[in-house]
Structure 1
Amino acid sequence: MMLWSCRKSRHKRSPGPAPCWIRTLLAALLWLCVTQSGSGVVGENKNVIQKDAEFDVTYNDTVTSENQTIYAFNHTVSRNKTEGVRVSVLSQVSENPILFVVRQKQAVLSFQIPLILRGLYQRKYPYNHVARTLCQPPTRAASETQFFFVDVSTLSTQGTNYQLRVSRVESFTLQTDKKFSFTASPSQPQYFKYVFPDGVDTVIVKVNSDMIFPCSVMSIQDIQCPVYDLDNNVAFIGMYQTMTKKGAITVQRKDFPSNSFYVVVVVKTEDEACGGPLRFYPLRPDELIDAGNRSKVLDVMVSPAINSEVYVMGMLFCLGIFLSFYLLTFLMACLENKRMSKKREVFQNPADMSPAETASLLGKNGDGKTPASPYDYGSFADNGSTLSSEAITDSATSTDNNYGYMERSLESVGRTRQESLSSVEEDDYDTLDDINSDKNIVRTKKYLCVSDLARKDKRILSKKYQIYFWNIATIAVFYALPVIQLVITYQTVVNVTGNQDICYYNFLCAHPLGALSSFNNILSNVGYVMLGLLFLLIVLKRDIVHNRAVVRSDLNALECGIPKHFGLFYAMGTALMMEGLLSACYHVCPNYTNFQFDTSFMYMIAGLCMLKLYQKRHPDINASAYTAYACLAVVIFFSVLGVVFGRGNTAFWVVFSVIHILATLLLSTQLYYMGRWRLDSGILRRMVYIIYTDCIRQCSGPMYVDRMVLLVMGNIVNWSLAAYGLIERPNDFASYLLAIAICNLLLYFAFYIIMKLRSGERIQCLALVCILFTAVVWGFALYFFFQGLSTWQKTPAESREHNRDCILLSFFDDHDIWHFLSSIAMFGSFLVLLTMDDDLDTIQRDKIYVF
């Protein structure tokens, strides 16, 4: 009839709100819904039973598909006092579940018995005992009576027994600095309310347990309904983190407009997120797994965090430490300039001096002869014999002996250079013209001097080593920009999602500032930048002084001492500054995917220090910047591969160990023969010939004993490290690779010092103080480094077990102190390399040994 009327009125121009066919369709749908609803009511014939219920009373009832029970509760809600309400249900139903619906004024909470929670790979765990806390929305009235109802229903035709109990949670609101203990399980989560007291803007919420497992989750959520307090929804809102024995989250008042928040603790259904074992996989997709007893006893305490004054004190302390190095350097520079000024005045006005003092300044004895250098201990003299004790005694009486500096006239130095031969006697080699020109003959002498390996033009070498600085500056720019972009993205993701498992902080001492979650770990890296800049300024001063001496044709600058090339020093200072910047970027959000940011320039620093040590005595044959950085790039490449594939991968460790050993052998050959060997198809034939002639036929000893001792020790150390890596396969491959670099650097440095003293050279007071000071600081730094406040080799929950409170000014932790001390130690190590050969500044280069 409706359709007929619609057709009949199709040609009428009615101004109705909708076309006729739409009204017809809506009417049909309405009639269908009413028909279905009516038939359902008649078919079910369900009885609704409503009971006035009371708190702290256990109700044992039975529910079937034919009846529905509603429990009505009322309680008084006060604006000044918040009491929690907890609903606890127990039933042994196994097939048809019972549905419980709690209707409140501003929220509805529903759950079923058994409660099915899903774990990894969608495995199902049933729980027959469920307890949930009802959310408490804020009320504007001073006191208000609120009603809520608990509806119980099921579709099971058989009667199912259940127990229902509703009780008040007296300690629902947490008190500041007061510990509260409770028990939680996957089906019985707990949450509590905390209100910021007046004058407190930041608090730290600590949750602890004596039990490692079961794994649990702590969450900070705003005061709103519903509260997400189950394993499958706790990550939907707020900040959260997994935990085993420790958990801590810093909460700021500005993030919660209501000046209060919920502390939610949920026990997970499985322990894989906390590093626990993976339970068996069910045989059938619908199979239910017995969860067992997963109750966990925990305690929670909320404490005020530090205030703005502590932030200011921490920043002033950090800046004060490193600015003191600037002040100390400035004072030492002033004293040095004053000393040099007095010396120049005395030298320019010799009228007031005695004849002996004047002769001493001119570098001559009373008889007009040039004295031998007071630092030529054990050197070969012109006739192959050592210096006479008389010459040493006469030179030691000179007034400049305290400074290690001796002015020579052009004639005396020129005559000395002409009369001086190499450190090798004439009968040790064929006296042909080639000995002075052919580098293949020069570099194979048994006793080499610096003059033998400093034949290239100084300007060419200076440009060669300046490339180190420009290359590392270019690398720093292109490396740092994407790193900064990436860590900003990491921090944004943490702030938006609230997932505290992304970053491995020391949560018990992580002080936020702005968008940064752990500002103190970033601030403590400022030492690398400030001391790196200070080292660049010191090197710049030395560079300027040396260039001025070269311009005025100072013979000590031209003919004496270790050749001055500052390019590697500039590169070292830049690398130290970049280490600070990249370490700060890493600590914005430390985790295993960006750990190479913190170690990349550590590899470069170790490599540059070894190159600088080698360059001191081998300026002509040191590696070029392109070769050096290419090798360092390979090291960083293996570092990334090790982090990604190195965990338990046998093939990777075998390949790396073989490459490590082969690289050690190739480098040893390069160093032993001073680069005078060829890697070609005849290398194996030549090796067999050398072994036959030198080891089997006549069994002669090595020609270069000192170099052989160093290389044998180096091979023993590196082969041992390769074997350790292959056997143990450490998870932290980046630190393992860094340990290889540091061990080689320390070995070479120790060899250099021993050979320096063995060659009759001495270490001046400033360099000796730097060595002792640096060694002590390195010792303390390594102590704090190995405290291990967090580790990304484990799960975030396991890492938090190592978290500890701040130990310095309530602002810095052990790792921050490592940053302070290691930056100072690196700066001291650079000063050692810069000053350790200052005693040779007045020694001619043909009397300085190569080792």
Structure 2
Amino acid sequence: KHRTLGVCSDETHSLVSCFRSQADDGSRMLRFCPVLLVLMLASSGANVVVQRDAQFDVTYDDTVTSDNQTIYSYNHTVSRNKARTEGVRVSVELLSESAPSPVLFVVRQKQAVLSFQVPLILRGLYQRKYQYTQLGRTLCQPPTKAVAETQFFFVDVSTLSSAGVQYQLRVSRVDRFTLQTDKKFSFNATPSQPQFFRYVFPEGVDTVIVKVNSQKNFPCSVMSIQDIQCPVYDLDNNVAFIGMYQTMTTTAAITVQRKDFPSNSFYVVVVVKTEDEACGGSLRFYPLLPDELLDAGNRSKTLDVIVSPAINSEVYVMGMLFCLGIFLSFYLLTFLMACVENKRYDAVFEMIMTRISEAATNSLASADGNYGYIGTHTHTHTHTHTQRIYSCCQFSALSLARSLESVGRSRHESLSSVEEDDYDTLADIDSDKNIVRTKKFLCVSDLARKDKRILSKKYQIYFWNIATIAVFYALPVIQLVITYQTVVNVTGNQDICYYNFLCAHPLGALSSFNNILSNLGYVLLGLLFLLIVLQRDILHNRALERNENTALECGIPKHFGLYYAMGTALMMEGLLSACYHVCPNYTNFQFDTSFMYMIAGLCMLKLYQKRHPDINASAYSAYACLAAVIFFSVLGVVFGKGNTAFWIIFSVIHILATLLLSTQLYYMGRWRLDSGILRRMLNVIYTDCIRQCSGPMYIDRMVLLVMGNIVNWSLAAYGLIKRPNDFASYLLAIAICNLLLYFAFYIIMKLRSGERIQCLALVCILFTAVVWGFALFFFFQGLSTWQKTPAESREHNRECILLSFFDDHDIWHFLSSIAMFGSFLVLLTMDDDLDTVQRDKIYVF
């Protein structure tokens, strides 16, 4: 007994007292307490102990009973030369078909004990048990300080079965136990025969990427990175205890840093799981019997492992400089364009003042009757840009003449470019908005009647509300993603976050710094847009202070609150997208999309506000609708997958919301949603469609709304039939389709109305369209997807394609931020051609 245990050398001690006498190293006794207990039970009934000197690569067929115990003694030389270090592997097979008790194998090494039983029982989902009669385990390698050291280890074989149990034992050397850099190594593994190998960091390499590949999706496997220590956790039921690990089907990759391993080396452990559910495989149904042992089947898998050096610090610096350089160049370009624009503005202003002076002189010289001639001349020439400027100049000259000669004339006579019978002459036209808004042809002056100061404050609420939302939204998000990253770093579970592991470059505590850095463009370009809007706002306020008539009476009314809100939303999109990419998964995907919905909604509101400043939605109602959209987004992500009831409810709400919005737009807000709505609808259908079959009064609006309803009803039908898994992207597609439809309608109606698009706006439109095309191409590459299991998501991972630092999704971040910035500039500049056109000549559509 004593020689079997290898801890006592004479017969004066009992087995228990022997253990007590050897308890000086309390930590080791506690660590191997279960093993010692098994040894006590096995040794207490053994009458014969046989020890034999064994040889490597020799197969031993033997029989063991409760009355005998066999000890196989091995010795081998461990070299400190890392390149020639060999591993040792113990392979065992149970030859007896059935045995009342398992056979216990205990491998005693220097500073380590490994024990396992045959047959091995591994548990799967719902505690289902699988039995394996063939086992293979690699022994861990205790560190040695000598150049070469001979180490002994023993394999003890015992059982409590009174009947003889036949087994087969073979101990062999693993020649390629130490992995070499950039050299692929192939091997086989099963649930009961895991494999692990050692890797030593070469000089000058601080970070490596360990890649494991397989041609077969299943069986599901686990790749783990563990420190050099004993024991090595290499079974399905304990591989997640220490280190970093991730499930895999065909691909797995983990970035390993030297600073995390004090010994400058680590183990690469590959384990085949007993079941495939963790990798998205089908769940096999079995009756849940408590003592049922299931056949594991053939779960052998061939895998390749390769360890490659990761990027160095120079690549990090180049990536950061590249990112900053791209977006700071927009600042430089904007500054240069602002300088050119200011010079042009000064020249135009000087020309206008000159013409005003000349017109004022002519007006004074012919003050006795030429005002009518000037009005006629203005009415005749209203279709070219130069003559529109001249018209405004004449108007300014007339104002000066009036102030000098006290000649009063009504504002309507001076500004109107339409015939008198083209508008309603009721006395209450200036006060009754129902009469104004139901005109067949509306001008911007009809819907810009409210006090400018009131409207400015109303639209500034958009900015302050979104700033408040941003603060209260971002702080919990930041706290949550920090917690996610901490959990990943502490537990080592790489399945929590859906990275592109083949191009995930860590920095500090962040696992994928490049995906976070690439979001910098949203923040910088959002800030740049805010600065551009601020400059326009300041110039406009100065013009108002000077009482310039072009600012008071010409062009689209300037309200900048929505522009400020759009710029803030773009910056928040960058911040929240960066937070999402700290640990991307299905539970925090709404962080990445929430402000995308807001950006799409704000852009549509701004388009509508351009021609309808008095009747645009308030900030409170607009943000309430956007909150409802985000609410449905969360519900769709959580409950939408395969839930028929949810898709029916959402489709009905989608269609009803489309109809209500269509009614609001068509009647310019002059309708009521009350108990009499159905009666009024039937009355309109009867009088306009059945009784006299008259066409729609507002044809342009009707065309837009019919097309919008067709698009939205089609999207609702698609969602109800296909039920896409990515509900958040589906909802975003609805918002983008409506925005693009309205924008196209706006451009077409602008051109139909005789207006034109200036060169700057046209360049922005073309540039933005091209950039959006390239951005969407990279977006649809799909490097990862949280709609599948983490192992299936890694099948889509790809290498870096830009500077060895950025992947396809990073390029999407770059291009989409530029495209959004360009889209905002289009909204800001597309109506600059109307800045010198009187508002009662600008049509509403």
CA distance in 1, matches of 2:334, 2:428: 48
Question: Which residues in structure 2 correspond to 1:73-222 (within 5 Å)?
Answer: 73-80=74-81, 81-93=84-96, 94-95=98-99, 96-222=101-227
Q: Is 1:489 the counterpart of 2:483 in the alignment?
A: yes
Q: Is 1:48 the counterpart of 2:53 in the alignment?
A: no
Deviation digits for residues 514-570 of structure 1 (CA, Å, limit 9, x no counterpart): 000000000000000000000000000000000000000000000010000000000
CA distance in 2, matches of 1:582, 1:124: 45
Q: 1:421·1:846 contact (CA, 8 Å) conserved in 2? A: yes
Aligned-residue Cα RMSD (Å) equals 2.7
Deviation digits for residues 425-450 of structure 1 (CA, Å, limit 9, x no counterpart): 65566532022220011000100000
The match for 2:612 among 615, 618, 621 is: 618
The match for 1:260 among 256, 261, 265 is: 265
Deviation digits for residues 780-826 of structure 1 (CA, Å, limit 9, x no counterpart): 00000000000000000000000000000000000000000000000
Q: 1:218·1:247 contact (CA, 8 Å) conserved in 2? A: yes
Deviation digits for residues 574-611 of structure 1 (CA, Å, limit 9, x no counterpart): 00000000000000000000000000000000000000
Q: Secondary structure at the match of 1:435?
A: coil
Question: Which residues in structure 2 correspond to 1:392-407 (within 5 Å)?
Answer: none
The match for 2:398 among 411, 416, 432 is: 411
CA distance in 2, matches of 1:534, 1:273: 46
Name the aligned partner's letter for residue 53 of structure 1: A
Q: Secondary structure at the match of 2:229?
A: coil
Q: Is 1:571 the counterpart of 2:565 in the alignment?
A: yes
**Cα 1:397–1:117, aligned 2, differ >3 Å: closer, same or farther?**
closer
Q: Aligned-pair distance for 1:99?
A: 0.9
**Corresponding residue for residue 472 of structure 2:** 478
Task: State how many pairs are aligned.
Answer: 798
**Cα 1:590–1:364, aligned 2, differ >3 Å: closer, same or farther?**
farther
**Corresponding residue for residue 68 of structure 2:** 67
**Corresponding residue for residue 59 of structure 2:** 58
Name the aligned partner's letter for residue 211 of structure 2: K
**Corresponding residue for residue 781 of structure 2:** 787
Question: Which residues in structure 2 correspond to 1:270-285 (within 5 Å)?
Answer: 270-285=275-290
**Corresponding residue for residue 677 of structure 1:** 671
**Corresponding residue for residue 333 of structure 2:** 328
Q: Aligned-pair distance for 1:423?
A: 7.4
**Corresponding residue for residue 378 of structure 1:** none
The match for 1:592 among 562, 586, 598 is: 586
Q: Secondary structure at the match of 2:295?
A: coil
**Corresponding residue for residue 544 of structure 1:** 538
CA distance in 2, matches of 1:365, 1:703: 46
Q: Aligned-pair distance for 1:338?
A: 1.8
CA distance in 1, matches of 2:261, 2:729: 41
Calculate the TM-score normalised by the size of structure 1. 0.90
Q: Secondary structure at the match of 2:218?
A: coil
Q: Secondary structure at the match of 1:182?
A: strand
**Cα 1:283–1:346, aligned 2, differ >3 Å: closer, same or farther?**
closer
Name the aligned partner's letter for residue 517 of structure 1: S
Q: Is 1:531 the counterpart of 2:536 in the alignment?
A: no
**Cα 1:547–1:397, aligned 2, differ >3 Å: closer, same or farther?**
closer
Question: Which residues in structure 2 correspond to 1:677-826 (within 5 Å)?
Answer: 677-826=671-820
Q: Aligned-pair distance for 1:345?
A: 4.9
Q: Secondary structure at the match of 1:161?
A: strand
**Corresponding residue for residue 301 of structure 2:** 296
CA distance in 1, matches of 2:818, 2:389: 33
Q: Secondary structure at the match of 1:642?
A: helix
Q: Aligned-pair distance for 1:279?
A: 1.2
Q: 1:452·1:846 contact (CA, 8 Å) conserved in 2? A: yes
Q: 1:115·1:128 contact (CA, 8 Å) conserved in 2? A: yes
**Cα 1:382–1:493, aligned 2, differ >3 Å: closer, same or farther?**
farther
CA distance in 2, matches of 1:42, 1:239: 38
Q: Aligned-pair distance for 1:160?
A: 1.5
Q: Secondary structure at the match of 2:522?
A: helix
Name the aligned partner's letter for residue 556 of structure 1: T
Q: 1:357·1:398 contact (CA, 8 Å) conserved in 2? A: no
Q: Secondary structure at the match of 2:796?
A: coil
Q: Aligned-pair distance for 1:41?
A: 10
Name the aligned partner's letter for residue 409 of structure 1: S
Q: Secondary structure at the match of 2:240?
A: helix
Name the aligned partner's letter for residue 67 of structure 1: N
**Corresponding residue for residue 292 of structure 2:** 287
Name the aligned partner's letter for residue 158 of structure 2: S
Q: 1:363·1:408 contact (CA, 8 Å) conserved in 2? A: no
Q: Aligned-pair distance for 1:366?
A: 12
Name the aligned partner's letter for residue 254 of structure 2: I
CA distance in 2, matches of 1:627, 1:398: 42
Q: Secondary structure at the match of 2:137?
A: strand
Q: Aligned-pair distance for 1:162?
A: 1.0
Q: Secondary structure at the match of 1:217?
A: strand
CA distance in 2, matches of 1:132, 1:372: 104
Q: Secondary structure at the match of 2:782?
A: coil
**Cα 1:43–1:642, aligned 2, differ >3 Å: closer, same or farther?**
closer
Q: Aligned-pair distance for 1:422?
A: 6.2
Q: 2:46·2:66 contact (CA, 8 Å) conserved in 1? A: no
Q: Aligned-pair distance for 1:408?
A: 4.3
Q: Secondary structure at the match of 2:49?
A: strand
Deviation digits for residues 135-183 of structure 1 (CA, Å, limit 9, x no counterpart): 0011011111100011111112221111111000000000000100111
Name the aligned partner's letter for residue 760 of structure 2: L
Question: Which residues in structure 2 correspond to 1:330-369 (within 5 Å)?
Answer: 330-345=335-350, 359=358
**Cα 1:57–1:770, aligned 2, differ >3 Å: closer, same or farther?**
same
Name the aligned partner's letter for residue 253 of structure 1: R
CA distance in 1, matches of 2:682, 2:483: 57
Q: Secondary structure at the match of 1:436?
A: coil
CA distance in 2, matches of 1:41, 1:181: 39
**Cα 1:397–1:229, aligned 2, differ >3 Å: closer, same or farther?**
closer
Name the aligned partner's letter for residue 751 of structure 1: F
Q: Aligned-pair distance for 1:416?
A: 8.8
Name the aligned partner's letter for residue 280 of structure 2: G
**Corresponding residue for residue 506 of structure 1:** 500
CA distance in 1, matches of 2:372, 2:745: 31
**Cα 1:412–1:255, aligned 2, differ >3 Å: closer, same or farther?**
same
Deviation digits for residues 693-728 of structure 1 (CA, Å, limit 9, x no counterpart): 111111110000000000010011111111111111
Deviation digits for residues 260-301 of structure 1 (CA, Å, limit 9, x no counterpart): 000000000000000000011234121011110000000000
CA distance in 2, matches of 1:42, 1:435: 108
**Cα 1:86–1:370, aligned 2, differ >3 Å: closer, same or farther?**
farther
**Corresponding residue for residue 8 of structure 1:** none
Structure 1 residues not aligned, in runs of 5+ = 1-25, 31-35, 351-355, 374-380
CA distance in 2, matches of 1:42, 1:735: 65
The match for 2:575 among 545, 560, 581 is: 581
Q: Secondary structure at the match of 2:77?
A: strand
Q: Aligned-pair distance for 1:109?
A: 0.6
Structure 2 residues not aligned, in runs of 5+ = 1-15, 21-36, 403-408
Q: Aligned-pair distance for 1:97?
A: 1.2
**Corresponding residue for residue 431 of structure 2:** 437
The match for 2:555 among 547, 558, 561 is: 561
CA distance in 2, matches of 1:154, 1:372: 119
CA distance in 2, matches of 1:304, 1:70: 44
Name the aligned partner's letter for residue 490 of structure 2: V
CA distance in 2, matches of 1:491, 1:44: 52
CA distance in 1, matches of 2:491, 2:395: 73
Q: Which range moved further: 220-229 or 424-433?
A: 424-433
Q: Aligned-pair distance for 1:321?
A: 0.3
**Corresponding residue for residue 460 of structure 1:** 454
Deviation digits for residues 472-493 of structure 1 (CA, Å, limit 9, x no counterpart): 0000000000000000000000
Name the aligned partner's letter for residue 594 of structure 1: N
Q: Secondary structure at the match of 1:681?
A: coil
